[in-house]
Amino acid sequence: MMQGTVFLPAGLRRVGWRYFVLRWRQSLFMVLGIMLGVAMMVSIDLANASAEEAFVLSSEAVTGKATHQITGGGPGVPEEVYTHLRREGLEVPLAPVVTRYVSSPRLGDRPMQLLGLDVFADAPFRGYMGEQASGGEQGLIAFLTRPGAVALSEENAARYGLRPGDTFEIELEGRRKEVFLAGIVQPPDDLSRRTMEGLILADIAAAQEVAGREGWLDRIDLILPEDSQALEERIRDLLPEGLQLAPVEARGGAVAEMTEAFRVNLSALSMLALVVGLFLIYNTMTFSVLQRRPLFGTLRCLGVTRGEVFGLVLTEALWVGLLGSLLGVALGIALGRSTVGMVTRTVNDLYFTTTVQAVGIPVGSLIKGGAAGLLATLITAALPAWEAASVPPNTALVRSVLETKVKGLVKWSALGGAGLIGSAVGLFSLPEQSLGLGFGGTFLVLIGFALLSAVLLAALMRAVEPFSRRLVGLIGRLAPRGLVSSLSRTSVAVAALMVAVAVAIGVGLMIDSFRYTVTVWLDQTLQGDVYISAPSFSANASLSEIDLRVVEWIQSQEHLGELYILRSTRVESRSGPVQLSASSNLEVAEERLYAQRIGGSDTVNRALSQGAVLISEPLANRMGLNAGDSLELLTGRGWRSIPIAGVYYDYSSSEGGMLMLLPVYRSLWQDTAVTALALRLPPGMDADLISRQLEEETSSLQRLNIRPNRQLRAEVMQVFERTFAITAALRILALLVAFVGVLGSLLLLQLERQRETGILRALGLTGRQLWGIVMLETGLMGLAAGLLAIPTGYTLALILVYIINLRSFGWTLQMSIQPSVFAQAVGLALLAALLAGVYPAWRISRMPAAEAVRYE
Amino acid sequence: MSKRGWILVFLVAIGLVVWAALLLRSPEPQASQAAPVFRGVQVEPQGAFRMVDGPAQISFPRDHGPHPDYLTEWWYYTGNLFTAEGQHFGYQLTFFRRALLPPEDRAERTSSWAADQVYMAHFALTDTGAGTFSSFERFSRGAAGLAGAQAEPVYQVWLEDWQVTEVSAGRYRLEAKSGEVSIALDLVDIKGPVLQGEGGYSPKGAQPGNASIYNSQTRLGSAGTITVGEEQYAVSGLSWMDHEYSTSALGEGLVGWDWFSLQLDDGSELMLFLLRHEDGTLDPYSSGTLIQSDGSTRPLAAEEFEITPTGTWTSPHTGARYPAAWEIRVPGEEIALAVRPRLADQEMRLSFVYWEGAVRVEGQRQGGPVSGNGYVELTGYAHSMQGEF
């Protein structure tokens, strides 16, 4: 087909071009449709790429070239393990690591990683301190020997005006520590410069002291050669119980997988906009072909070949697609500024703390978006182009033939639609629960419903006609019939609007259901009056430790009622690290909602006290576990098989977690650290007041988040809203695309029918009556789209809630239906359609009959 | 607008978008091979290291251990070993200690990783049969049990798995392994510790403080195994241990030293060192010690011995030009010896470059033939050692 484009006679190209210029509005709408679709894809892709880059850079900053890591659940790796391994003469690079998230008011109060390393061992891994770590380096002396000595990258020091020798404060889990800037690292290349942006380097001794981690390492990094089974076995034999050696990928993999699900969701949503945009292109191209049927007939008479006509139309599409895509890419970059922020924020809330911000724009995203826009335009335009090429070489044929043909097509498209929906149902019921298939099915359903819209529109109009006739007489009869008689264009416009509104309904219902579910879950789970935790950078799970002096002091305040202690940490399972929470509340099992249980409350409580765990639904889904199964965990006493007493609903993380009783945890891990406290106050005590008092009295020891129940709940909901901010924004954008599209198609539709209208005018209809016809037509279209969007949107919501969310995040949501969502959607569709009708109606009603009839 | 005009517009538009994209995009991050530069803050110490300014009361086993208040210290093991078939190996295993801070500047720390001492170790093996020489270097902090030295409860000096440990009085186990090369020896001290200089006080220049405390075990019976790749050799022979600490061992204007430890088959040993000035002249504080077979010692002043280089070797790796054969005479003892390296290239190219190699000794003593083995250390030929120790 490209040959046709290239060898198109110059005169013929002019034909296309002239048409374009004359119908600039029409072209504008096509360009606009593609532009918005591409812009959304690009902006989401940019956000995804930048979130991923931030993740990769942030984790690379601390992982470096390590291939394996030795880790331990609970408090970490005892430091003597490292010395033991070193003195074994393994002859592989080994490096101890102590790492903590910190922030500093002096360094922009952003999350940073305090990375404690041993300069004598670290060069093969990260090389921040250079290869030459000889003792002779005078400059290293202060870094090695000064308590609280740290180093920063040259950029960070310059940006925040710090000079070697300065002291400044950092905050670590609510505790302020003074550190001393003992040196500046000049990274050798751009990559290290980027990764160092979020790092505060320290000698391992200083890091232990600052973090209060004397005696412990967070992990030991290793670089093992490939196929080192024997060596790995040897190392495992050297490790005490409770530690494990695992490849780095296995550890980062789980997080990467979960963010992947999140990103796929966003991408799919952004593609919806392009789909809506494609409807518009199809609609507009079809329309332009229709308009020019006589022209194409004439051209064919003049000896222009079928292929040339096809090429002509496709060339037009190519230009429109190119311009729209380019503008879309540019707009996408602009929109990307806000989407990047939103996505990164959510990823930080839900998955991991990034300390490095991605900068720059990955060209891949732009090319991907632009190419998708162009390609989609060409494919969509192929059908109308084919239509144009099949115009027989005479001008006698009129539209009515096409409309007759369309009537036959309506049946086929309805059958096709039903077929697509059927195959989607088939896809969903496949045993393979992949997210890709889930989204594939979702698109099939949407397109299926869109294909059904023509037949439904015709049926609806026939049903409406008697009513509208009775209501507004002749006009009421003309309008619905007019819509049916030009079904080839009206149905596509309605389908586009319907898809957009359905997406709005579906996504809206999903968010409502989610919100409802979280609210119910919070009611059940948050039963304390005051919650205390140490500040952390993750919104959903604080692993920061509370100073034990604070714990003791609060424990001594007996008038405050019951105090429950919670320890949250990460422990090793056979399939990577898992979050474990241990509660001193022996009735904690009563405060959960269950998907599965091994028995009644008593049975579960008994199992828990005997060492069982409860696991959250996402974890159960992720690992394929059920109540009654057991799970192997690396405890302080080696691998233990822990029975699962139940699966509870939990929406705090899509990674999932486990819950056990504190005495069980402490006996298995010998870890007395505390990460959260919950107070159940005696009746009559004011939680707000107590919170403020506690905050004041503990502030000298540690800055803690002390929140009354109500505030904590509000904060959880805030994170929730933040998480869905981008989804909501996408939903609005999809509507905007549809609105522009519908505006365009209605405008064209009405302009195209000028002659018809002119005849009506000539027959004596007043301007007001014409106005009425146009408004009624567009109103009916809007109404039809709105009504059709209700079942489509509802189906979409069902899919999103029960299939997509479950497959992406492992969460079962309770469907919550607020009728207002439907009303809003119908109203929206109607409003969009009516607004779109105003201009054509105004034009037509003011047009003198003669001019209207003149047509072209 | 003409057709051409339109194409132009589109080309310009495409160009603009590509340009904007390139502008907004940062250059693709590239990891380079260049090393980062660390600029540390220089903090002037409040205190000072202890100086060796006169003879000290040396007492063993205590003084086999470390002396952390002095800037540097080393434990130097070298030896010549032979298989039953007579194949020769030479080895060097040295532990260097360097203090980061004078005693007064050391802070109380709670982390066991906090270090005010850094250890470096060098390990080298000369495989004369194969004509190969390998050398290795390691660093570690003198903390967290990773590296250190101790006199009690048993003498031990180690850096990770390279170590020398006393197994019973006067008996030691020496072990080191790196890559393809490893050594494991049992050492027996035949003569007991020898105090060099004046009862262990070894001046290195006229200025007070330019001196070290220096003692040796000059005859350590050695037996064990050497592994090179897949090959394992049962070996036996003699080792020599030097233990020296100081704060300022090289006086002003000195660039390096030539040091000889020779073990003769009449049961005596000869230690000699020459301190060299920048201009090539020798310092009058060069000295030596003759250890008789009964363990008695005779200090040798600079004028009591002569060392004449009889050959040179230029390192193809560093370009440094080393003396490569010597005639040594101690007229007062009627000793005349010819000393030749077992292998020309025994250059240690590590954090600093020096030549340390096994040598063969042949000559005469009091009219009779005498032969033996030894080690020679040549420093300051590739770069000055001033400030290195």
> CATH number for the domain including B195?
2.40.370.10
* Per-residue confidence band for B249, with pLDDT thresholds at 50, 70 and 90: low
Higher pLDDT, A718 or B282: B282
- According to the model, what pLDDT value does residue A722 have? 78
Q: Does pLDDT of A851 surpass 80? A: no
State whether residue A363 sits within 8 Å of chain B by CB. yes
- Per residue in A731-756, pLDDT tens? 777 777 767 766 777 777 766 666 67
Q: CA B256, CA B260: separation in Å to the nearest integer?
A: 13
CA distance to partner chain B, nearest, from residue A714 (Å) = 38
Instruction: Name which of A146, A153, A168, A337 to mutate to probe chain B: the one with the most chain B Cβ atoms within 10 A of its Cβ.
Output: A146
In tens, the pLDDT along B267-283 reads 999 999 999 998 888 98
| For residue A602, pLDDT beyond 50 | yes
What is the C-alpha to C-alpha distance for residues A801 and A517, in angstroms, rounded to an integer? Answer: 11
Residue A654 has pLDDT above 90, yes or no: no
A793 in any annotated domain:
no
In a domain, B384, yes or no: no
Chain B positions touching A144 (Cβ under 8 A) are 100, 115, 118, 141
Nearest CA in chain B to A188: B36
B68 found inside a domain: yes
User: What number is the average pLDDT over the span A513-523?
Assistant: 85
Please say if the pLDDT value at position A757 is more than 80.
no
In a domain, A311, yes or no: yes
Query: How confident is the model over A17-33, as a mean pLDDT?
Result: 72
Give chain B's end-to-end CA distance (angstroms, integer).
Answer: 82
User: Within a domain: residue B13?
Assistant: no
A79/B139 CB distance under 8 A: no
Q: Name the domain count of chain A.
A: 3
* Domain with B289 in it: 58-101+115-378
Torsion of CA A346, A350, A355, A359, to 10 degrees: -30
Mean pLDDT of A762-772: 79
Q: Which domain holds residue A667?
A: 535-703
pLDDT score recorded for residue A849? 61
Tokens of A318: 């190519």
Average pLDDT over residues B355-379: 96
Report the pLDDT value the prediction gives residue A781, as an integer from 0 to 100: 86
DSSP symbols for A408-476: HHHHHHHHHHHHHHHHHHHHHTSS---HHHHHHHHHHHHHHHHHHHHHHHHHHHHHHHHHHHHHHTHHH
Nearest chain B alpha carbon to A138: B42
Task: Choose among A191, A209, A333: nearest Cβ to B30.
Answer: A191
Q: Is residue A98 located within the same domain as residue A205?
A: yes
Mean per-residue pLDDT, A209-217: 92
pLDDT attached to residue A376: 82
Give yes or no for residue A612 having a pLDDT over 90. yes
Q: Are B193 and B214 in contact (CB under 8 A)?
A: no
Among candidate residues A373, A271, A344, the one with its CA nearest the CA of residue A734:
A271
3-state DSSP call for residue B152? coil
Is A180 a member of any domain? yes
Rounded to whole angstroms, how far apart are CA atoms A617 and A656? 7
> What percent of chain A stands above pLDDT 90?
17
Which residue from B minimizes the CA distance to A320? B10
Q: Do B40 and A215 touch (CB under 8 A)?
A: no
pLDDT above 70 covers a percentage of chain A that reads 88
Smallest Cα–Cα separation from A732: which of A518, A547, A576, A504? A504
Which residue from A145, A151, A206 is facing B38, i.e. has the nearest CB?
A151
> Which amino acid is present at A101?
Y
User: Cα dist. A716→A527, A687, A812 in Å?
Assistant: 14, 18, 18
Cβ atoms A624, A662 nearer than 8 A = no
pLDDT of A5 > 50? The answer is no
pLDDT above 90 (res B186): yes
Identify whether A529 is part of a domain: no
Same domain, A560 and A696: yes
Q: How far apart are CA B13 and CA A390, in angstroms?
A: 34
- Per-residue pLDDT band for A396 (boundaries 50, 70, 90) equals very low
The winner for highest mean pLDDT among A124-138, A152-166, A239-253 is: A152-166
A6: confidence class by pLDDT, cuts 50, 70, 90 = very low
Domain assignment of residue A162, yes or no? yes
Please tell me which residue, B338 or A839, carries the higher pLDDT value. Answer: B338
Per-residue pLDDT, A289: 76
Say which range, A85-99, A281-295, A455-469, A607-621, has the weakest mean pLDDT: A281-295
Least confident of A189-203, A421-435, A724-738: A724-738
pLDDT digits (tens, 9 = 90+) for A478-511: 778 877 777 777 787 788 788 888 888 888 888 8
> Which CATH number fits the domain that encloses residue A204?
2.40.40
Query: Of residues B375 and B15, which shows the higher confidence score?
Result: B375
pLDDT reported for residue A610: 92
> Is residue B38 domain-resident?
no
From chain B, pick out residues whose CB is under 8 angstroms from the CB of A135: 98, 100, 118-120, 139
Average pLDDT over residues A589-602: 88
Mutation for A interface: B41, B43, B112, B175, most A CBs within 10 A: B41
Chosen for mutation from A21, A145, A217, A329 (greatest number of chain B CBs closer than 10 Å) is A145
Q: Are A43 and A136 in a shared domain?
A: no
Question: Does A591 map to a domain?
Answer: yes
pLDDT at residue A564 tops 80: yes
Q: Which one is predicted more confidently, A818 or B344?
A: B344
Complex-level ipTM? 0.89
Q: Which amino acid is at B128?
A: T
* pLDDT value for B15: 60
Q: Is residue A314 part of a domain?
A: yes
pLDDT at B27: 43
Q: Is the pLDDT of residue A250 over 50?
A: yes
Tell me, yes or no, whether B29 lies in a domain. Answer: no
pLDDT of residue A848: 67
Task: Tell me what pLDDT residue B11 has.
Answer: 61
Query: Does residue B313 carry a pLDDT above 50?
Result: yes
Say which residue, A751 or A183, is predicted with more confidence. A183
d(CA B278, CA B286): 15
Rounded to two decimals, the pTM is 0.76
Amino acid at B275: L
Count: domains in chain B: 1
Q: Looking only at Cα atoms, what is the longest distance across chain B? A: 113
The answer to whether residues A60 and A146 belong to one domain is no
* A774 falls within a domain: no
Query: What six digits make up the tokens of B281?
Result: 């002249």
From residue B276, how far is each of A588, B149, B251, B324, B363 by CA, in Å?
Answer: 79, 31, 10, 16, 26
| Mean pLDDT value across chain B | 89
Per-residue model confidence as pLDDT tens digits over A256-269: 666 777 777 777 77
The answer on A636 and A592 residing in a single domain is: yes
Mean pLDDT of chain A: 82
Residue A200 has pLDDT above 90, yes or no: yes
* C-beta of residue A597 within 8 angstroms of C-beta of residue A646: yes
Of A677, A703, A729, the position where a domain reaches its end is: A703
Same domain, yes or no: A82 and A58: no
Indicate the helix (H) or strand (E) that contains A547: none
Asked which of A654, A683, A703 is the last residue of a domain, the reply is: A703
Domain for residue B30, yes or no?
no
Name residue A402's amino acid.
Answer: L
Q: Please check the confidence at residue A806 and state whether its pLDDT lies above 60.
A: yes
At A841, the amino acid letter reads: A
Given a cut of 70, whether residue B29 has pLDDT beyond it is no
HEC profile of A635-700: ECCEEEEEEEEEEECCCCCCCCEEEEEHHHHHHHHCCCCCCEEEEECCCCCCHHHHHHHHHHHHCC
Q: What is the pLDDT of residue B104?
A: 92
Distances (CA, A) of B230 to A467, B81, B180, B181, B315: 99, 19, 8, 9, 29
User: In this structure, are A270 and A317 located in the same domain?
Assistant: yes
> What's the confidence (pLDDT) of residue A193?
78
pLDDT tier at A538, thresholds 50, 70, 90: low
DSSP secondary structure, B29-66, as one string? P---SPPPEEEEPP---SS------S-----TTGGGS-
How close B305 comes to chain A (CA, Å)? 35
For residues A269 and A156, state if they share a domain.
no
Q: Token pair of B361, please?
A: 């000794």
Q: Is A183 on the interface with B (CB under 8 A)?
A: yes
Nearest to A86 among B34, B160, B179 (CB): B160
Mean pLDDT of A646-666: 89
Q: Nearest-CA residue of chain B relative to A140?
A: B40
Same domain, A43 and A147: no
Shared domain for A139 and A9, answered yes or no, is: no
A98 in the same domain as A54: no
Chain B touched by A19 (CB under 8 Å): no
Query: Which among B14, B39, B100 has CB closest to A183?
Result: B39
Average pLDDT over residues B150-166: 95
pLDDT digits (tens, 9 = 90+) for B58-93: 999 899 999 999 999 999 999 999 999 999 999 999
Residues A207 and A355 in one domain: no
